[in-house]
Amino acid sequence: MNRNLLVTGGAGFIGSNFVHYWAQNYPMDRIIVLDSLTYAGNKKNIQKLINTKKISFLKGDVSDKSLVLNAFVQNKINNVIHFAAESHVDRSIRGPDSFIQTNIIGTFNLVEVFRELYGKAISKNNWRFLHVSTDEVFGSLDLEENPFSEETRYDPSSPYSASKAASDHLVKAWGKTFDLPITITNCSNNYGPYHYPEKLIPLTILNIILGKNIPVYGNGMNIRDWLYVQDHCIALGKILLEGKSLETYCIGGNNEITNIEIVNTICDLLDEIAPKYDVKLPVIPSKKLIKFVEDRLGHDKRYAINSSKLKRELQWEPKVNFQDGIRKTIVWFLSNKEWWEDLI
């Protein structure tokens, strides 16, 4: 049975990768992307799919409930995958208002409209709501602590993670109260194509290409678990199609790496790869550009995810190790200058 799939935030980093993945693997499904095209939403990410009519695009904000309702009704939506979110911790510290509006109010609008229309549906077999969240809702891990799992208690440290924690609780409560077919995912740090250049990996890549300093918070020893975005998309697809209703799934990459290791790896690889793409780096070796800066407020020490539930129940595990994934990512940025040039 074909789906009418609403992808919120589908012009953003993870969302656009998912849209490409779904359009390629489920061409009979109808995909409607809803995105407000803030600074991190880029229609160029999905323009080819729009041009070939493989997807439809609707510009709009999830915090506008009447717009959300119209999008559902006009497109007969029965599946939702909710990526739309403000996601940068630094921005949430400087200005949390938009995080509350998008991440909490926007999520409420979506799950409430879904509830209203699901309740009126004659056939409910094909309805699903997948809420995509982050491991940051769990707070910080010490070096000796076990990785986050579906049983980890919430302990957000920033306005961003607090707003995402609130949205998780909203979706989970609506699912339980109204018996809705919802699932929630909490993923580790993603990287790959179409990554907006404010996050560590794309920022490091582009600063090296442009000869700018590479800022590293504190001593660079904060640890993150890195997940290649296409592995993430495969996991999300499995959860949307096969995940158990009212369940949460943690999605990790099995790649715990310190920030300074990430930066050093990118420096070494770009020094090696750039000449093959006729890119002359302004500073060689690139490590000369590393600059340690004052640490971020509330900077969590370590994130790590245990994905054993996802492996056990849905037979998913990440396929791309970090060395292969970061090389693919660097090559993508070297090969797509026209994509990032306008953004910077």
* pLDDT above 70 coverage of the chain, percent: 100
What's the average model confidence in pLDDT over 137-162? 95
5-28 residue pLDDT tens:
999 999 999 999 999 999 999 999
What's the average model confidence in pLDDT over 33-57? 96
pLDDT band at residue 1 using 50, 70 and 90 as cut-offs: low
Q: Is the pLDDT of residue 276 over 80?
A: yes
* pLDDT above 90 coverage of the chain, percent: 94
Give the CA distances from residue 313 to residues 183, 190, 205, in Å, rounded to whole numbers and listed in that order: 14, 22, 37
pLDDT of residue 90: 85
Which residues carry out catalysis?
135-136, 160
Q: Is the pLDDT of residue 182 over 80?
A: yes
pLDDT of residue 89: 87
pTM of the model: 0.96
Q: Which phi and psi (to 5°) does residue 121 adopt?
A: -70, 135
Distance in angstroms (rounded) separating the CA atoms of residues 334 and 328: 10
Cis status of the peptide bond prior to 285, with omega within 30 of 0: yes
Q: Is the pLDDT of residue 2 over 90?
A: no
Q: Is the pLDDT of residue 336 over 90?
A: yes
pLDDT of residue 293: 97
**C-beta separation of 42 from 343 below 8 A:** yes
All structural domains of the chain, each given as residue ranges with its CATH number in brackets, are 4-193+226-254 (3.40.50.720)
60-75 residue pLDDT tens:
999 999 999 999 999 9
